[in-house]
Amino acid sequence: MSEEAKQHCVMVSAFDGWNDACSASTNVIRHLLEAYDSHEVGNIHGEGFYDYQMSRPMLCHVQGRRRIVWPATKFYRVRINASLTLLLEMGPEPNYRWTDFCRQSIHMAEDYEVDSIITLGSMFADCPHTRPLPIDDLAGDQASMDTDGHSGPIGIPTVLDSLAAQDGYTTESVWVSVPQYLGSDECAQATLQLLERLSSMLGVGLERGHLPRKAEEWKAQAAVLLHCNDDLAGYVHRLEMEADKQSADRMNMQVDEPTAHELVKEAEDFLRSMGDKGQGGNSNG
């Protein structure tokens, strides 16, 4: 097979639980499964990985028959276009044997000749719903670190990133922050922003479907909540001021040293030219 014809395959992983505030990250996977043709290609059975009192089996009725569905992580193959295929991984965060679990995930990546691995996550934070939700995008060694660069609790995405990087995979981890004051209902805005960041990383325009409309509905519901609660409105206003300050600080940091030197040089050249004109005028007087 020629290089031009070879499919680029990326594994995208998200897990229910501690890493998935408001189901924002796993809903990216669910959205992709609805937006594109997909095929289930494998799974990691829950036996030995889950505490069934934490991740309980579900009783389902299928064609009049009762069936117990046990917790499991599933893999789906989705062809985005002629050159890009996604291997989507989704399931509950395991309770036990994280290293073994991640090794099985990486084995699936090997079977499908995955080129790189992207993990998705969402977390509650002090951020306002009236501004773009904060996104942290960590690549390589940073993907196995806390987003603030300090030690702290980690989840299964961090372990998967770390072990995959040790095996030579390019890894990236994308996390979105969700306003903690809005509770645990689904957050379409966070899912939409994760999807858009994923689109940018993959270099393709992923289908957004109904997510923009759902995100606007989420904002409208939040606005009603603030309208009915003056204390909450004041709290959000303080968060807005802090978010705006941080945004302004980031904009100022984008003026890097070479750019600053260029501005200084332009100013010096302008002043020098004005001086030369002045001297020329004096000599002709």
**Which CATH number does the domain housing residue 69 bear?**
3.40.50.10900
Per-residue pLDDT at 260: 56
If asked whether residues 21 and 122 sit together in one domain, one would say yes
In a domain? residue 107: yes
Query: Do 156 and 170 lie in a common domain?
Result: yes
Residue 2 lies inside a defined structural domain of this protein: no
Same domain, 243 and 260: no
Asked if pLDDT for residue 37 goes beyond 50, the answer is: yes
In a domain, 71, yes or no: yes
- If you average pLDDT over every residue of the chain, what do you get? 87
Q: Do 175 and 269 fall into the same domain?
A: no
Ramachandran angles phi, psi of 30, nearest 5°: -60, -40
Number of domains in the chain: 2
Residues 218-250 pLDDT 10s: 999 999 999 999 999 999 999 999 999 888 877
Q: Do 237 and 101 lie in a common domain?
A: yes
Could you tell me if residue 170 is inside a domain?
yes
Residues 87 and 107 in one domain: yes
Global pTM reads 0.82
Closest of 155, 162, 123 to residue 140, by C-alpha: 162
Strand order in the sheet with 38-45: 38-45, 72-79, 84-92, 8-16, 116-125, 170-179, 135-139
The pLDDT assigned to 146 comes to 46
How do residues 128-142 score in pLDDT, each as one tens digit?
A: 999 999 999 887 555
Return the amino acid letter for 1.
M
- 30 inside domain: yes
- pLDDT reported for residue 215: 97
In a shared domain, residues 154 and 273: no
One domain for residues 196 and 274: no
In the block, residue with structure tokens 């904002």: 219
User: Is residue 1 domain-resident?
Assistant: no
Range of the domain at 272: 256-284
| pLDDT attached to residue 254 | 65
Shared domain for 13 and 140, answered yes or no, is yes
| 44-52: average pLDDT | 86
User: What number is the average pLDDT over the span 66-91?
Assistant: 94
The confidence score (pLDDT) of residue 65 equals: 86
121 three-state secondary structure: strand
How far apart CA 23 and CA 102 sit, in angstroms, is 21
Instruction: State percent of the chain over pLDDT 90.
Output: 67
Q: Are residues 23 and 150 both part of a single domain?
A: yes
Structure confidence at residue 45 as a pLDDT band (50, 70, 90): confident
Q: Is residue 3 part of a domain?
A: no
Do residues 145 and 270 share a domain? no
Residues 169 and 270 in one domain: no
Query: By the 8 A CB rule, do 137 and 161 touch?
Result: no
pLDDT beyond 60 at 148: no
SS3 130: coil
Q: How far is CA 73 from the centre of its chain?
A: 19
For the residues 148-169, what does the mean pLDDT come to? 87
